[in-house]
Copies of this chain bind each other. A is one copy, B any other.
Amino acid sequence: MKDHCRGKMIMTTNTTPSIDLNQHDDQRHAFLDSIDTLIFDCDGVLWLDHHVIPGACEALAKFRSMGKKIKFVTNNSTMTRHQFLVKIQSFGIECSIDEIYGSAYGTALYLKSIQFNKKIFMIGEAGLENELRDAGYSPIKFNTDHTVSGISNAQNIEIERDIGAVIVGMDTSLTYSKCVYAHKAITQIPGCMFIATNTDHSYPVRDGTLPGAGSIVTMIQSSTSKAPIIVGKPETLLMDVIIKNEGLDRSRTLMVGDRLNTDILFGINSGTKTLLVLTGISNKQSIIEENIIPHFILNTIADLI
């Protein structure tokens, strides 16, 4: 299952038609009995923009009272788990730090899982840096104000020769110099890994979108002709990390999300059960259009209890 982390998405097709739990009240109880752990995408599932989905808090409290494990995942690499905890709790949702898996934390866990012990060059925000530091790594400091100008200055940028990994996430302080540094490390240092926190091409904000981590990753991938190891959804690395860290049984784990091509594909690719809720981006028509078939469908997470 590792191969598709290298820049190409292998779609593990689920060909079984979705069970619409809206139509089968009687099946919800049996369905919940078959699940030990619920892994939640958040925006579009538990809240939408700045408003909690009605009944979501109560549903999660009910799952907890039934003894279910709850996990929260996010591809956003700009926030540490602590920052994400504050955000989740701001919606009145019960949560603890050890239930949160972001792509920044997932990247740090992945590095530890492979006993990575070389230098890191990072394109990313403080959220990524802090997770790496918490895991014992010290990403190379590259002055964010260090903007070169002109080809000859760019080619004179010197890199440290013992870098073992370039990690690329969302970075609002991106400069051409940083790209040159990453490009040189990946193309000039034998064995240097290229790791992407996630591949979301745009980053949703209040009034539209910004260029996302995925667009920066695409630039480095394009210039170096190297495919990255991808941590975030819909690749499986983040799920592998959660499954291993928590000792979960994939067959009794449910990925809950509102987007077919990230959340649901993430669950399908990872071998968990998947539940599409219709409170966010994808709808029933999307299933036909994208041909990504969730195991279960429900209008809202609140309807599961």
| A-to-B contact residues, CB < 8 Å | 78, 125, 144-145, 147-151, 153-155, 171-176, 179-180, 183-184, 187-188, 201-203, 205-212, 214-216, 218-220, 222-225
Contacts and interface: CB of A to CB of B under 8 A. Distances in A.
A207 B78 CA distance: 34
9 contacts: A151-B203, A154-B210, A155-B210, A174-B176, A201-B225, A210-B223, A211-B222, A215-B223, A219-B219
Contacts of A187: 208-209
Contacts of A78: 151
List the number of copies, as a whole number. 2
Nearest to A182: B211
Nearest to A171: B176
Contacts of A155: 205-207, 210
A300 B152 CA distance: 30
Nearest to A147: B173
A143 to B, nearest CB: 11
B172 A153 contact: yes
A209 to B, nearest CB: 7
A128 to B, nearest CB: 13
A223 B209 contact: yes
A223 B211 contact: yes
Query: Can you list the 5 inter-chain pairs with the closest CB atoms, starting with the nearest?
Result: A211-B223, A215-B223, A219-B219, A174-B176, A215-B222
Contacts of A222: 201, 211, 214-215, 218-219
A5 to B, nearest CB: 19
A261 to B, nearest CB: 13
A210 B173 contact: no
Contacts of A219: 211, 215-216, 218-219, 222
A184 to B, nearest CB: 7
B175 A174 contact: yes
Contacts of A207: 155
Contacts of A154: 172, 205, 210
B151 A210 contact: yes
